[in-house]
Amino acid sequence: MLYTVSEKELLLTMIEVLKGEGNNTLANVLSMSKLVYDPRWEFSGIISGQKQLYVSIRVPLNFRKLINDKKELLSQICTDIYMDNEDYACYGISSIGILPIQTEEVEFDNHVVMFEKDSVYMSFLKFLADNNMISEIQKKYLYEACAAGNTNNILSASVMLGCSAEILLKELCESYQKYLIIHGSPGEQASFQQKVINAKVAYTRLDEFLKRAETNPDVFNKLGFENIKLNFNFLDIVRQTRNDSGHPTGKIISKEEFELMLGNYQGFLTKTINAIKVLPTL
């Protein structure tokens, strides 16, 4: 056997060494990277017949500079781990390349769009495709949000996500109204119809709904909303982001902020759709 340590063993050990030294960022980058040996014909000059062995690493594009800056440290770790034998002596890292961006094609509503594999957008679309509880109109808005975000059109993506949130709020209110028809007094039912269902703007609808939800915490706690105001205020954050993006306010949400919001929305959507389904049956 020419190599005393396999490429996979070297990479995994480097990751553990970095973690042990508190370099978690570098360890996380290497966990997403690929490592291959770069054997040379040149002799090491250490023992007769022994040749030079280098290591080549490919990393995600956004982390290439970080790894380049730490090349000397990573080279030292390579040589510490690799056990030289009569065939090869390890000389550290020779090159730091870039991993190609892997993509997947998604077909939705007669459109085919290419997304980066394992991105937040790809994850969200797979979630939508497998979920029969989400309405088609919701899927249309959320698909548009993902497609726009994927091409860095964050303002458009924010507007589409906000439309989804308003639909979600409307459906949640209608579901709670069905709950009140069974469990609420005539006064509660009339008030809910007037101030929530007939509200002219989403902000008023959410505010009036929250007032009533907070007076009936046990129902929402059972549905997974431990902190009612905090949980449902997420809808207002999405709504406000939509308003800022859809009007010339000058306020712009960053790509990273939108992707974080979208990831959080996925979990909130699942919980809320379940509440919409269950409330009328309680």
d(CA 175, CA 112): 34
Q: Helix (H) and strand (E) counts for the chain?
A: 12, 5
The answer as to whether 63 is a domain residue is: yes
- pLDDT digit string (tens) for the chain, length 282 residues: 589 999 999 999 999 999 999 988 899 889 889 999 999 999 999 999 999 999 999 998 878 999 999 999 999 999 999 999 999 999 999 999 998 877 667 666 666 666 677 678 888 888 888 788 888 889 899 989 988 888 889 988 988 998 898 899 899 999 999 999 999 899 999 999 999 999 888 888 888 888 888 888 888 888 888 888 777 777 777 767 766 565 566 667 788 888 888 888 888 888 999 999 999 998
The answer as to whether 92 is a domain residue is: yes
153 and 27 in one domain? no
Residue 21 belongs to some domain of the structure: yes
Choose the final residue of a domain: 73, 98, 123: 98
- Domain co-membership, 108 together with 204: yes
Residue 2 lies in a domain: no
Q: Which of 82, 98, 114 is the last residue of a domain?
A: 98
User: Do 44 and 168 belong to one domain?
Assistant: no
Could you tell me if 185 and 231 lie in one domain? yes
Whether 115 and 14 map to the same domain: the answer is no
Q: Do 137 and 269 belong together in one domain? A: yes
Evaluate whether residue 94 is within a structural domain.
yes
Residue whose token pair is 């303002």? 155
Domain boundary residue, one of 65, 98, 131: 98
Q: How many domains does the chain have?
A: 2
Cα-based angle 17, 5, 11 (whole degrees, multiple of 5): 40
User: How many CA atoms are closer than 13 Å to the CA of 25, on its beta-carbon side?
Assistant: 6
Say yes or no: 187 and 268 in one domain: yes
pTM here?
0.63
Task: Estimate to the nearest angstrom the gap between the alpha carbon of 127 and the chain centroid.
Answer: 12
Within a domain: residue 14? yes
Task: Establish if 168 belongs to a structural domain.
Answer: yes
Asked if residue 131 and residue 31 are part of one domain, the reply reads no
Beta strand ranges found along 2-124 (DSSP E): 34-43, 51-59, 88-98, 103-108, 111-116
Instruction: Give φ, ψ of 152 to 5 degrees.
Output: 65, 20
Task: Give me the pLDDT at residue 110, please.
Answer: 66
Cβ density class 8-30: b for 16+ within 10 Å, e for less: eebbebbbebbeeeebeebbebb
* Shared domain check, 129 and 54: no
In a domain, 197, yes or no: yes
What gap in Å lies between CA 210 and CA 216, rounded to an integer?
10
Q: How far apart are CA 102 and CA 43, in angstroms?
A: 38
User: Does one domain contain both 168 and 30?
Assistant: no
Structural domain boundaries, residue 39: 7-98
Interaxial angle between packed helices 154-183 and 136-150, expressed in degrees from 0 to 180 and rounded to the nearest 10: 160
Same domain for 182 and 201, yes or no, is: yes
Helix or strand (DSSP H, E) at 76: helix 71-81
CA distance 83 to 177: 71
Do 72 and 110 have their domain in common?
no
